[in-house]
Amino acid sequence: MPDIAGLEHTKPTSLQAIADKAKAKRTHRFGNLYRELNEVLFTDSWRRLNKSAAAGVDRVKARDYEKDLQHNIIAVVNKLKQKRYRTKLVKRHYIPKSNGKLRPLGLPALEDKLVQTAASQLLEAIYEQDFLPNSFGYRPMTGAKEAVKSLTFNLQYNGYGYMVEADIKGFFNHLVRRARCGNSARRDLCRGGQVTGRSMAAKFSEREIWDYF
């Protein structure tokens, strides 16, 4: 998932229309959403990116990309429309865990993060309408704090006598991508799904030492 800041921004008009249709028609299958990956969406996605995040393998930082932002956005949109867009290697970085092990992180190239953010906004407009209220993971405007509040309320007022804490080891490393894309097909029949598929299948660069961040 890309680094995102400023979630208070409202959706572009086209995304709101898609969200409204997805909410009104739960079984509707969207087609030709690829055209929504346009300059307006990418400009909005740029505002949401965490500009202070570490650079990827391309060494491009936000302040440099922003110097010619309009041209860069038009270029990446054209590459997507012409099916010439290819994800770069994802820089692998390890951080220590409390148990002494290392947690692997993936640092995508800046433009890949921009594409991921645009694609995630498009898919979010559709699939947010399908999530249950008690689903708190990796969704906008919700997270661990909201999960704890819900848990506290249910334990206090709904008569639950115990709770179970569980963690799936290496979930994203073992995610079956084909099954994930199969679930997406229930709503989304467009070629835009190929963009997220390429991002999910991006390879890692495992260099031991990096001379930039």
Convert the pLDDT of each residue in 91-106 to its tens digit: 988 999 888 888 888 8
pLDDT for residue 4: 44
Average pLDDT of the segment spanning 1-25: 72
* Cα gap 98→135, rounded to integer Å: 27
Closest CA to 66 of 99, 43, 100: 43
Burial (0-12, 13-18, 19+ Cβ within 10 Å), 205:
middle
Q: Which of these ranges, 56-70, 92-106, 138-152, 187-201, has the smallest mean pLDDT?
A: 187-201
- DSSP lists the bridge partners of residue 205 as 91
Q: Fill in the amino acid letter for 68.
A: D
pLDDT for residue 207: 56
Would you mind telling me the total number of residues written for the chain in this entry? 213
Convert the pLDDT of each residue in 135-170 to its tens digit: 888 888 888 899 999 988 888 888 777 778 888 777
pTM of the model: 0.74
DSSP string, the chain: ---B--TTSPPPHHHHHHHHHHHH-TTPPB--GGGGSSHHHHHHHHHHB-TTSPP-TT---HHHHGGGHHHHHHHHHHHHHTT---PPPEEEEEEE-TTS-EEEEEE--HHHHHHHHHHHHHHHHHHTTTS-TT--TT-TT-SHHHHHHHHHHHHHHS----------TTTTTS--HHHHHHHHTTTB-STTHHHHHHHHTPPEE--S--S--
Position 35 pLDDT exceeds 70: yes
Distances (CA, A) of 57 to 60, 63, 96: 8, 16, 21
Q: Which two tokens stand for residue 171?
A: 């979930």
Task: Specify whether the CB–CB gap between 186 and 166 falls below 8 A.
Answer: no
Position 208 pLDDT exceeds 60: no
pLDDT for residue 164: 82
Burial (0-12, 13-18, 19+ Cβ within 10 Å), 58:
middle
| Cα Rg of the chain (Å, integer) | 19
Show me where the domains of the chain are located: 13-130, 132-167
pLDDT for residue 187: 66
